[in-house]
Structure 1
Amino acid sequence: MKALIAGAGRLGTQIAQVLAAARNDVTLVDIDDDRIAELEGRVPARLMAGDACDPAFLERAGALTADLVIATTGHDEDNLVTSLLAKRHFAVPKVVARVNDTENTWLFDQRWGVDTAVPAATPLISLIEEATGATDTVALLRLSKAGVDAIETVITPQSRAAGHTLTGIALPAGTVVATVVRDGRPTVPAPEMRLRPGDELLVVSHAATEQEIRAAFQ
């Protein structure tokens, strides 16, 4: 599947990581040049800086051949325009848009090209399942039917987990390391995998807090 994600904030970045880990062809775009530069080498997706509300840019980003467009910016007006262009101009089969302000929910329908409107508080796993229409693409990450949090953490030379295998790290209950991105390539980690500085982990949990998870690694 070819997925185009507009908005490289935390949500858009996490979606890109999960979809790429499931061997999808992912492009992540953002209007902020610095944000895209910051993500270079950290996200296993094609990265592009530009305005997703611009049809010419969307075409360069691959909208003509995209199977899925997800608009995840923090601005509802941008998400609506991106959705409308994706559906009406590029005939993208599946368009998902994030709703930041609940008062705007009524706008996010097929008149604006939105197939699925997702409230900002929707858990990552549920959002991806809504977007892909196939739960098997995220079966690895599914710990429960609701309330699953996805948290990123990066191993540094100072991290307590550096040099240790996953089996040697005491994780909070209900927590699993779903993906390790190493040298720009996501892998499903084996228990004996030894963590290195620069490794970026996507950890999912239905019980632990972000602080508890980061404390286990950092």
Structure 2
Amino acid sequence: MKALIAGAGRLGTQIAQVLAAARNDVTLIDVDDGRIAELKGHLAVRLIAGDACDPTLLEHANALTADLVIAATGNDEDNLVISLLAKRQFAVPRVAARVNDADNSWLFDGRWGVDTAVPVATPLISLIEEATGATDTVALLRLSKAGVDVIETAITPQSRAAGRTLAEITLPAGTVIATVIRDGQPNVPTPEMRLQPGDELLVVSHAATGQEIHAAFQ
């Protein structure tokens, strides 16, 4: 699946990381050049600096061949414009948009090209499930053909994994850590990485349940 994500804040980068971990072709756009520079080397996705409200930039980002566009900026007006352009000008099959202000929820519908409106408080996993939908291009969080789940867990001061390295964590069979998100930045996991309170982990497994993953870290 080819996915285009507008907005490289914490939410946008997390979505990009999960989609990339599921072997999708991902492009991440942000208007902040500095933010794009920060992410280089941290994400296995195509990074583009620019305004996703600009049709020319969207075309450069291959919106014409995208299967999914996610407007995940912190500005509702921008998300609506991006969604409308994606659907009307580039005929993107599926468009999801983040709703930052609940008072604007009524705007996020088909009139603005939005297939799925996702409130800002929606958990990451649920957001991606809703964004990708029940299409046969990808069942991202439950890859039915491969039987793979992507599970999110967070490290708190009370977690037994806090202060331990990844090498010291015993994972269930058939389970790997896809990324460790720290201070909003995705990081490639290494055996010597020491987990800290506030870290969020995206774990990929074809056998373990959410409860088993939770038990390994909490």
Under TM normalisation by the shorter chain, which class is it? 0.7 to 0.9
1:136–1:45 distance in 2 versus 1, CA, 3 Å:
same
CA distance, structure 1, for counterparts of residue 26 and residue 64 of structure 2: 14
1:7–1:198 distance in 2 versus 1, CA, 3 Å:
farther
Task: Please report how far the alpha carbon of residue 150 of structure 1 lies from its aligned counterpart in structure 2 after TM superposition.
Answer: 6.1
CA distance, structure 1, for counterparts of residue 52 and residue 154 of structure 2: 25
**1:156-195 equivalences in 2 (<5 Å):** 160-161=164-165, 164-167=167-170, 178-180=177-179, 195=191
Question: Helix, strand or coil: the match of 1:80?
Answer: helix
Name the TM-score, length of structure 1 as normaliser. Answer: 0.72
Seq. identity, %: 65
Q: Count matched residues.
A: 179
CA distance, structure 2, for counterparts of residue 48 and residue 88 of structure 1: 22
1:178–1:35 distance in 2 versus 1, CA, 3 Å:
same
Give the match for residue 43 of structure 2.
43
Question: Helix, strand or coil: the match of 2:47?
Answer: strand
1:196–1:17 distance in 2 versus 1, CA, 3 Å:
same
Question: Helix, strand or coil: the match of 1:81?
Answer: helix
Q: Does 1:88 align with 2:88?
A: yes
Counterpart residue type for residue 20 of structure 1: A
CA distance, structure 1, for counterparts of residue 4 and residue 32 of structure 2: 16
CA distance, structure 2, for counterparts of residue 75 and residue 15 of structure 1: 17
Task: Please report how far the alpha carbon of residue 177 of structure 1 lies from its aligned counterpart in structure 2 after TM superposition.
Answer: 6.2
Gaps of 5+ in 2: 143-148, 156-162, 181-186, 204-209, 212-216
Assess if the C-alpha contact under 8 Å between 2:165 and 2:194 holds in 1. no
Superposed CA deviations along residues 163-216 of structure 1, whole A, max 9, x for unmatched, are: x34329xxxxxxx864148xxxx99x8xxxx614599x8515989xxxxx7xx9
**1:1-218 equivalences in 2 (<5 Å):** 1-134=1-134, 136-139=139-142, 140-142=149-151, 160-161=164-165, 164-167=167-170, 178-180=177-179, 195-196=191-192, 203-204=201-202
Superposed CA deviations along residues 116-172 of structure 1, whole A, max 9, x for unmatched, are: 000000011111111112483213224xxxxx6668xxxxxxx7527x34329xxxx
Question: Helix, strand or coil: the match of 1:14?
Answer: helix
Assess if the C-alpha contact under 8 Å between 1:63 and 1:92 holds in 2. yes
Gaps of 5+ in 1: 143-147, 152-158, 169-175, 208-212
Assess if the C-alpha contact under 8 Å between 1:70 and 1:97 holds in 2. yes
Assess if the C-alpha contact under 8 Å between 1:109 and 1:115 holds in 2. yes
CA distance, structure 1, for counterparts of residue 82 and residue 154 of structure 2: 25
1:132–1:41 distance in 2 versus 1, CA, 3 Å:
same
Pairwise CA RMSD:
3.1
Assess if the C-alpha contact under 8 Å between 2:6 and 2:28 holds in 1. yes
